[in-house]
Structure 1
Amino acid sequence: MEHITPKENIILNVLSAEVNFTTCESIRLSRRVDRTGQRTLAAVTKSDQYADDLLEKVTTNAVNISYVCVRNRIGNETYDEARIQEANLFKSHHSLSMIDKSRVGIPVLAQKLVQTHDVIISKCLPNIVNEIKEKLDEWMSRMSGSLKETLEKLLIHGEVVGLPDKHKSCDARLAKMVDEFKIELHAEDESFENFLVDEMRVLKESGGIRLSQFVPEYAFSYLLRQKVSKISDLPISFVNKVWSYVESVSFEVLKDHCESFPQLYSPMKKASQKALEKIKNKFLQRAMDMIEMEKNTNYTCDPNFLASWKELKSANYDKLSDAVVRRRSKWIAINGYGDVKVDHLFDVPANIREQAFDLKMKMVAYWAVVLRRMVDWSALNLRYWIQKFVTEMGISVFTDMMLPGCGIEKMMEGPRSVAEKRDIFR
């Protein structure tokens, strides 16, 4: 029953002409699953042996099914010989010749099978396609969901239970990249031989009609833009570096998930690349925006900034003045900054030197705030955009795999080796 119940299957009853059609068990089973008889076809065999009773059986057609009477091959007859004998039988036999010619012969049986198949397909194909699509959608939903879950465990939550060993260090690797970025930011190439030179130059260029003891805001903003510009490539490099790693991990996870369907790896990888590129570009744009914001605005609500600035100035200016004016030292150690060369400051007026030093210490205190902010921003945005990518990747993979030529067609493709062997026999 399991083979004749599906509505897309043809039920072919092969009956001997000697049996009673109304009591035939196979006919009864067919009628139970196909009451209208639209997909049931009876092939009545041994027509030549039981010809006398056959005409009445097929004429009354008490079981109301489509039938075709055929003649079996006898002995060593070839197919062509058997068909000739069959045609002569239904043409010359006194009773069989009275059966409608659209009901006799193997060629007619083959034609009716094709016609019945066409009718069934025309009715069932939309449902079959919908069922396949539903199954495919369900499978792809599970696949994308599993892919998303694995990536979240690896890249966001840092879970390692149940994951391959090669993926267990992902979260630690991302944290290490953030630490390396922090070190790179703090390793800015500061000139210790030209101490206060830039500050004095900017003060000279920004001179105007104002109280001499007040440093113009423009001077600090200009120096800040210069410092930010020097390290502006580091956040971009960080994004490229970390995203390259995220990409490699994602493709490895994707490959693991496609192990049972290797033909799906290529289109799914393409969909993943699209999501990666989309989110990476947004991350890069945010990084560039962050750099521009640091260039254009000097602000912090950190209460330690003012305290640090004042402490740096009070702890070091007297030392600088003593080294330059009285001791004429070539090098001195500035607390919180490092050893600097100061012999070029011997002939600089005290008020200019003091303003330049104040500007430098203010920048040192504020620069620490900027670097902390950049590191924090990068770490927070890294998490944010990885989460966005994981979500986008799941959507992109699911959507693209539903496109023609990517989903069910790829799953139905056999291995290339099988296709090559098939071509040999064509």
Structure 2
Amino acid sequence: MENLIELTNKIQDVFSTISSSDALDLPQIVVVGSQSAGKSSVLENIVQRDFLPRGSGIVTRRPLVLQLITLRDPAAQDYAEFLHLDKTIYDFAEVRAEIEKETARLAGQNKGISRMPIHLKIYSPKVLSLTLVDLPGLTKIPIGDQPTDIEKQIRSLVVDYISKPNSIILAITPANIDLVNSDSLKLARQVDPEGKRTLGVLTKLDLMDAGTNALDILTGRAYPLRLGFVGTVNRSQQDILTNKAMKDALKAEEDFFNQHPAYRRISIRCGTDFLSKQLNSLLLNHIKEKLPEMRSKLNALIHSTEQELQQYGDPAMVAANVQGGPLVLRLLTNFSSEFVSAIDGTSPNISTKQLYGGARIYYIFNNVFGQALDTIAPCSQLSNHDIRTAIRNSTGPRPSLFVPEIAFDLLIKPQIKLLEPPSLKCVELVYEELMKICHNCGSKELQRYPRLFARMAEVVSELLREHLSPTVTYVASLIAIQRAYINTNHPEFLGAAGAMASLESEGKRKKRSEKKRNLSINSAASNASNSPMMRPQQEGAPMVNGVHIPKLHEEFSGLGDDGSQKDSFLNYFFGGASKQDRPALGPQDLISNAQYVPPLSMNNIIEAELEKKLEEVSMDGGDDWVAPHGTQNREDIETQLIRSLITSYFNITRKTIRDSVPKAIMHLLVNSCREAVQNRLVTELYRDDLFSELLQEDETLAAERQKCLAMLDVYKRAFGMINDAL
């Protein structure tokens, strides 16, 4: 049975070499108590040596893993060994100094703490085999140079240790305080509410007030614990200062319990000697109980570590440079396949958290680019003043005879130019996504060779940059092409008649709204209109907002009764010129000639379609027609007409750009790189003179492999030890 503790100590030593003691929950006794509760005195009494640092404030600032090994020779000399020192120490004052030195090395001099444990072995014929972990004392208020969150740090450290199911909690509490205020028992109850693995220790029983005792606690009546309570009497501060021999201190403790009227009945279950035996027995039984569980845990650790080691590959192949060519070719092919599958959406490692690869490109086309185009208003930054100025500038020194086509061209081209920035931004976003795919296409095996991966990323990045420039140029040319020729014959273009119809509809709608608003005063307005003063200047001529509009059957007909030319609607709209006076339409005799077809200019379209609209309006009676916004101001009508035409043509162009830009990007950038990536990688990197350089292994990964090998060796050794014990 004694060999079980020795076995656990060996396993603990083995695990400490790889700093992975947390991987296996080893059975051990964890000592917990508040500052000045007597933790150090209890441990020194068990060891029967002065070896722990003493002083004010926090003295224990790193966990101390203390292994006690029994020497079979009663005459053998006590000695100590630190795991971090290859040295045997016989002077225990030197042991104390080394603990202080090693604590300061990691925890510093400012009373901070460190989680890295110190491993100490003490060999003595006077001790029983035990494994104890001494932790920093619990505190509440920072003192001196202590960190402000020292209480939180210590509590977290203590909870981490006592939460492990295989730990036995040694909760130390001074007897001269109320048990309900014991910090050690409070923490122990949090992680062990049933008290199955908590052993309570009452110190300073000799300092209780006269007439009081802790018999109810020691017998389990006041605070039930499955493992019970053990009372101890440690050396006083005066005894320590006077270097009272440990042998004399233990004899004085024994006499105290044997002679005390309250404790002498249970003296056999009190004192340091009983505590040592109790701890030894508890630890032995605990280890024996947990060995099968530890073996299963180690078996699982061995399996998982072997799988992890396989991912790092065999370093022998790299060292000997065996089959470098086939390895490089396979890695290049795998990289190319991963790049293509990320674009196509066929990768086996598709993310479920965010869009990636081809799905991200689709999102850029249909959401980012599409919404960017939709946010551009057709007449953005185009005021009525700008439109009027363009109309006037396009007529030169001559008076305006009709709405000039040049004005429409001047105004629509800058608006089409607004589609260029989002189109070029779309190219940039797709390029960035392809670069992201490139840098994410690194398998676990490829990450072993950082130089090869870096060169792959460099080659693919260069390929993408080569295709980026012509893609940008072509997308920019798509906008330039749309600006180069304004196709007013497009079947979806609104045209002049459509624009006028839209304006008429708007005018009618406003007229109906005005009628409804003025419904309450219609009767009064009708009576007032019968007054001679309110009669229109021309009988039967309609009035709109106080402005006289000629009757269509008199003023807008083509010829009068005497055959004379009368004002037409176009004449009325375009400023009073006859068709013969409009050079864009040609002489009247050419127009009447059926074989003559005038060129389809913007002006022809406007006049022809407005004449057609005139006939439709005349057939409908014309009485409901009103000028847009209730005015006959010619400039306002021209402005609204041009604005409607710009909106119509811009929407057509935007639809074209929205369709053609993604197609251009897919053809010139995405598909071109997708098809050329493997050939480019093989051409640039599959060279004998580069194999040795490209296949140099990552130093960090090599260190990880070595660590994994060391862990596997530790697990196998520990498994062998436990297997032999069972």
Per the normalisation by structure 1, the TM-score is 0.53
Aligned-partner SS, 2:447: coil
Q: Residue 251 of structure 1 contacts residue 269 of structure 1 at CA under 8 Å; is this kept in 2? A: yes
Equivalent residues in 2 for 1:269-348 (5 A)?
269-299=457-487, 302-306=490-494, 310-317=497-504, 319-320=506-507, 326=544
Deviations for 1:262-294, whole angstroms, at most 9, x for unmatched residues?
Answer: 331111111111111111112111122122222
Q: Residue 213 of structure 1 contacts residue 351 of structure 1 at CA under 8 Å; is this kept in 2? A: no
Q: Residue 181 of structure 1 contacts residue 238 of structure 1 at CA under 8 Å; is this kept in 2? A: yes
CA distance in 1, matches of 2:444, 2:700: 22
The one of 657, 663, 680 equivalent to 1:396 is 680
Summarize the Cα distance change of 1:255–1:142 in structure 2 as closer, same or farther, 3 Å threshold. Answer: closer
Instruction: Give 1:195 shift.
Output: 5.4
Summarize the Cα distance change of 1:187–1:193 in structure 2 as closer, same or farther, 3 Å threshold. Answer: closer
Task: Say whether 1:374 aligns with 2:561.
Answer: no
Summarize the Cα distance change of 1:394–1:204 in structure 2 as closer, same or farther, 3 Å threshold. Answer: same
Task: Say whether 1:185 aligns with 2:373.
Answer: yes
Summarize the Cα distance change of 1:388–1:144 in structure 2 as closer, same or farther, 3 Å threshold. Answer: farther
CA distance in 2, matches of 1:266, 1:190: 47
Equivalent residues in 2 for 1:159-178 (5 A)?
159=346, 161=348, 163=350, 169-178=356-365
Aligned-partner SS, 1:159: coil
Indicate the residue corresponding to 1:361 in structure 2: 644
In structure 2, the gaps of 5 or more residues are: 1-320, 512-542, 547-627, 704-726
- In structure 1, give the amino acid aligned to 2:686: M
Q: Residue 459 of structure 2 contacts residue 681 of structure 2 at CA under 8 Å; is this kept in 1? A: yes
CA distance in 1, matches of 2:422, 2:431: 14
CA distance in 1, matches of 2:357, 2:442: 15
Deviations for 1:192-247, whole angstroms, at most 9, x for unmatched residues?
Answer: 89753322211111014889564333222211221123342221222112211221
CA distance in 2, matches of 1:272, 1:241: 17
CA distance in 1, matches of 2:649, 2:494: 9
Indicate the residue corresponding to 1:251 in structure 2: 439
Instruction: Give 1:313 shift.
Output: 3.5
CA distance in 1, matches of 2:658, 2:330: 37
Q: Residue 254 of structure 1 contacts residue 269 of structure 1 at CA under 8 Å; is this kept in 2? A: no
Q: How many residues align?
A: 269
Q: Residue 151 of structure 1 contacts residue 250 of structure 1 at CA under 8 Å; is this kept in 2? A: yes
Indicate the residue corresponding to 2:388 in structure 1: 200
Task: Say whether 1:235 aligns with 2:235.
Answer: no
CA distance in 1, matches of 2:398, 2:325: 73
Deviations for 1:370-417, whole angstroms, at most 9, x for unmatched residues?
Answer: 111111112112221201112333233222213576x31224424436
CA distance in 2, matches of 1:250, 1:273: 8
The one of 679, 693, 700 equivalent to 1:410 is 693
Instruction: Give 1:255 shift.
Output: 5.5
CA distance in 2, matches of 1:210, 1:227: 27
CA distance in 2, matches of 1:310, 1:141: 67
- In structure 2, give the amino acid aligned to 1:377: S
CA distance in 1, matches of 2:678, 2:442: 11
CA distance in 2, matches of 1:222, 1:310: 21
CA distance in 2, matches of 1:259, 1:182: 38
Deviations for 1:302-335, whole angstroms, at most 9, x for unmatched residues?
Answer: 522247x74443122453598699469xxxxxxx
Q: Residue 305 of structure 1 contacts residue 365 of structure 1 at CA under 8 Å; is this kept in 2? A: yes
The one of 396, 403, 423 equivalent to 1:215 is 403
- In structure 2, give the amino acid aligned to 1:199: I
Instruction: Give 1:183 shift.
Output: 1.4
Aligned-partner SS, 2:346: coil
Deviations for 1:98-142, whole angstroms, at most 9, x for unmatched residues?
Answer: xxxxxxxxxxxxxxxxxxxxxxxxxxxxxxxxxx99x76655554
- In structure 2, give the amino acid aligned to 1:275: L
Indicate the residue corresponding to 1:350 in structure 2: 633
Summarize the Cα distance change of 1:398–1:160 in structure 2 as closer, same or farther, 3 Å threshold. Answer: closer
CA distance in 2, matches of 1:271, 1:192: 43
Q: Residue 460 of structure 2 contacts residue 677 of structure 2 at CA under 8 Å; is this kept in 1? A: yes
Aligned-partner SS, 1:259: helix
Q: Residue 255 of structure 1 contacts residue 265 of structure 1 at CA under 8 Å; is this kept in 2? A: no
Summarize the Cα distance change of 1:211–1:313 in structure 2 as closer, same or farther, 3 Å threshold. Answer: same
RMSD: 3.9
More helix by share: 1
CA distance in 1, matches of 2:460, 2:433: 14
Q: Residue 154 of structure 1 contacts residue 170 of structure 1 at CA under 8 Å; is this kept in 2? A: yes
Summarize the Cα distance change of 1:254–1:234 in structure 2 as closer, same or farther, 3 Å threshold. Answer: same
Q: Residue 388 of structure 2 contacts residue 635 of structure 2 at CA under 8 Å; is this kept in 1? A: yes
- In structure 1, give the amino acid aligned to 2:674: V
CA distance in 2, matches of 1:418, 1:379: 42
Q: Residue 499 of structure 2 contacts residue 644 of structure 2 at CA under 8 Å; is this kept in 1? A: yes
Instruction: Give 1:258 shift.
Output: 2.1
Summarize the Cα distance change of 1:206–1:323 in structure 2 as closer, same or farther, 3 Å threshold. Answer: farther
Q: Residue 167 of structure 1 contacts residue 249 of structure 1 at CA under 8 Å; is this kept in 2? A: no
Q: Residue 328 of structure 2 contacts residue 691 of structure 2 at CA under 8 Å; is this kept in 1? A: no
CA distance in 1, matches of 2:372, 2:701: 54
- In structure 2, give the amino acid aligned to 1:382: I
Q: Residue 339 of structure 2 contacts residue 438 of structure 2 at CA under 8 Å; is this kept in 1? A: yes
Indicate the residue corresponding to 2:10 in structure 1: none
Indicate the residue corresponding to 1:158 in structure 2: 345
Summarize the Cα distance change of 1:222–1:203 in structure 2 as closer, same or farther, 3 Å threshold. Answer: same
CA distance in 2, matches of 1:230, 1:411: 48
CA distance in 2, matches of 1:360, 1:146: 57
CA distance in 2, matches of 1:219, 1:263: 61
Per the normalisation by structure 2, the TM-score is 0.33
- Point out the structure with max Rg over C-alpha: 2
CA distance in 1, matches of 2:429, 2:657: 16
